[in-house]
Structure 1
């Protein structure tokens, strides 16, 4: 009897330590929706580029700005959805949405993302579009792996996948668009479904 109580106490201590050091209220549904947003945005970008009279390697300024706006809207909708669903899940579980764990998660995610974003903008400003998809995947994957220390460990596997896709994409730059669709679209949906059935669905 005392042995069982001792084991229960250890489990309770472990749970409290995990909650204090890791943010575990991430929503799997937000991953699914992020993937849908990405595929929708990719379809719009594809139509914009293929209907442009110029090659995608020398896009005119108007089409280029529309594609950037499209990417921004995908990122904004994904972030807004993740914040909304994660906040709702945290409240449902009686957890704080903004504490030391969530701050560490955001900081460690943003460092590679902001660095990568700025580098990609520099490359785009030089009209070097060939490696854009690979760079997005690699830096996003690094951000996920870096942030996984402060959230659900499963996130790092998505990060590893994104990095691998980015490296393959770098070797096959002509297929960057399709690797982008797989990484940000298909993989997000698969990851979101796994997380939803593993953690969200009760």
Structure 2
């Protein structure tokens, strides 16, 4: 059976834009106010970044599948993704406030870090998942430039306190991997997963 659209269980406008770029028609399947979506992102003790991002994505997809069933929506593949930034084994999630964002960016300045994005798609009983790992090298950015960037408000709500498609692109000296994966949805892997559940690209 040909699949005509998918559900995107993510609030990220970047992921919606990237799906549109792929030509994928999608509808949002967002958590209700009484669902504690942030609690799913808690890091377990000594958890490795790859294990963390894949576990969180699976939990988000479990929640989205349950939400879809509860709402009695028409059948279609459901896609979830999660992105984290890792410096060594240290996981840099979303900053809690501006000072936390400054701390994270100071850690990243002058170093190479990893951006890991896990993607999972479920259609009926079939579930497929993939992991994209990219490396990003930041220039040695000074405290004043970091403070200016944080003052823009852009780092808040972003893993690792930056968005590569925004002003922080000026900090990036080199990347190795998937640019779209760094943005939050690796398009190559996503296209492969969608084909596996019957979506024609």
Scaled by the length of structure 2, the TM-score of the pair is 0.30
| TM-score when normalising by structure 1 | 0.30
Larger RCO, structures 1/2 (Cα 8 Å, 6+ apart): 1
Q: Give the structure with the larger strand fraction.
A: 2
CA radius of gyration, larger in: 1
